[in-house]
Structure 1
Amino acid sequence: MGSAFAVAHTGWVESSGPFGGIHLFLLGLTAVLGVAVVWGLRRIRGTRAETLTLQLAGWTLLGASIFYSVWYNLPERFILAESLPLHYSDLLRYITAIALITRRWWAVAIVYFWGLTLNLQAMLTPHHTMLDHASVVTVLYWALHMAVLLAALGLLWGSGHRVDWRGFTLAYGAALAWAAVLLPVNSALGTNYGFVNEPPPGTSLIDLLGPWPIYVFWLVILVGTVWALMTWPWVRGGRSRNPDGGREGRTPSQTQKTPGA
């Protein structure tokens, strides 16, 4: 009986660990939802239904993000090293809500660059506690990270929003500025928000970049390079595809196609 329980327990851990059955299911579900979101938004692009859909999604995300922040900071659950909404993903959730509600170019740009890299990295290499048991924190962790990724896909490939070098500069500058804020905050509190003071627990891309502070330097270079490559398809041919700052966040010509469309 004991050996049977041990085998069953081992199978559950393997299934629920990184790239185990549960993790792959969540990633697959995200991919399916991503296709559905892009398809659905393309069907209603340019209509009032699109505006209402995005705004409803934005207000829902904002409400869920506020609930998560408040719930995680209640006295009985508060953990100084984890509860404060200071991670990039915490900040990104609120910016994503703004992007969905207002569709301002700066918010869309941050959602695109941060959402498809920093947010995606958190989904690909989550801490094992986000996979090995179900809890309010686990459910909200995955729901909110998935929502941000779906918003990035929907806004760019569904609703037809664009980014350019101005958006790249703003998103990259904001990421560096937030890191500059977190470094002294972490030092003062003894925390590691944003993982800028030491590598995150568990396996991640940072493990390949050396010890602190060397990995911080390489992250600055790597992120800048990847984001520049993410910008190029939108501006190739010498034509800027970024909106002029208007509410809709689209190019003057609605006939321009989204890369990969």
Structure 2
Amino acid sequence: MMIIEENAFEMFSRAHVSAIVVFFFVIVLLFLSKKKWSFQPQTLRRLEHLFAWSLLVMDVFYYIWLFQADRWNVSNSLPLELCSISLIMTIILVWTGNKHVYDFVFYAGIGGALQAVATPVLDMSFPHFRYFHFFYTHIGIVITALYFTWVKGYRPTFKGIVKTMVALNVLLPIVFAINILLQGNYMFLRMKPTNGSLLDFLGPYPWYILSLEIVAFVIFVILWLLFRRSTSK
């Protein structure tokens, strides 16, 4: 894979703001067109599968790039970040339409991806491949959750919040143990990101992990209140 000249990413730079603008434009476009998806079911499934494949291929290229650039490391390159897990669940959701998977993607996926887009842990800026990979996959998570809500008629529930919180708390000790074993920092369970993030407002280690649980629950409840009446299914 050809690697374009590396430019350092700066938070709220033109490249960052442009990605946020595109993000909100796509959300607005999806919302305005939510009742106009009149494709035949077979055609719609093909489009959904094409999108799922695009997410998968983009992520595979990312790992190929990591290897080629000699950046892959077992301590920080496994798909164990919340958004990496959410991306896998997003692809599964598009292929299966599973309601349990939808709950996770809607709550954990939207919550994690919004935080990631707002304060990216990213060292490559436009026009590097990593810049496009980061924003395409994170935006793809949110768009998939909203597509299943607005277009497919799925409805977020409070029970879905409980299931997502349980799933996250099952994942946390597993990822924490992997961090200790591999000297990693997946899900930022050992330290905060060095280039700044929303975690900076949640207290010192390890208390920010507990604070993050509370914030996650509050965000999930807000999402539920905002979207529970937007569908009828």
Alignment TM class, shorter chain as reference = 0.7 to 0.9
Distance 1:104 1:46, change over 3 A: farther
Matched, 1:198 2:171: no
- How many Å apart are 1:233 and its aligned residue? 4.7
Distance 1:19 1:143, change over 3 A: same
Between stretches 68-77 and 115-124, larger displacement belongs to 68-77
Contact 2:106-2:145 at 8 Å conserved across structures = yes
Question: TM (normalized to structure 2)?
Answer: 0.85
Contact 2:80-2:186 at 8 Å conserved across structures = yes
Distance 1:228 1:113, change over 3 A: same
Matched, 1:129 2:123: yes
Matched, 1:209 2:209: no
Partner of 2:3: none
Percent sequence identity is 23
Partner of 2:146: 153
Relative contact order, CA 8 A, sep 6+: which one is greater? 2
Matched, 1:79 2:90: no
Structure 1 unaligned spans of 5+: 1-11, 236-255
* Amino acid paired to 1:101: W
**What are the superposed Cα offsets for residues 161-208 of structure 1, whole Å, 9 maximum, x if unpaired?**
111122212211111222111111111111101111111121211101
Matched, 1:258 2:228: no
* Equivalent of 1:103 in 97, 103, 111: 97
* Equivalent of 1:34 in 6, 23, 27: 27
- How many Å apart are 1:140 and its aligned residue? 1.0
Matched, 1:219 2:212: yes
Distance 1:233 1:32, change over 3 A: closer
CA distance in 2, matches of 1:180, 1:107: 21
Distance 1:110 1:130, change over 3 A: farther
CA distance in 2, matches of 1:161, 1:125: 29
Distance 1:175 1:130, change over 3 A: farther
- How many Å apart are 1:145 and its aligned residue? 1.1
Distance 1:211 1:196, change over 3 A: same
CA distance in 2, matches of 1:74, 1:169: 41
Contact 1:130-1:141 at 8 Å conserved across structures = no
CA distance in 2, matches of 1:75, 1:204: 26
Structure 2 unaligned spans of 5+: 1-6
* Equivalent of 1:91 in 85, 93, 109: 85
CA distance in 2, matches of 1:116, 1:205: 15
* Equivalent of 1:63 in 37, 44, 57: 57
Question: TM (normalized to structure 1)?
Answer: 0.77
CA distance in 2, matches of 1:181, 1:70: 26
* Amino acid paired to 2:138: H
> What SS does structure 1 have at the residue aligned with 2:23?
helix
RMSD after superposition: 2.5
User: Aligned pairs, how many?
Assistant: 225
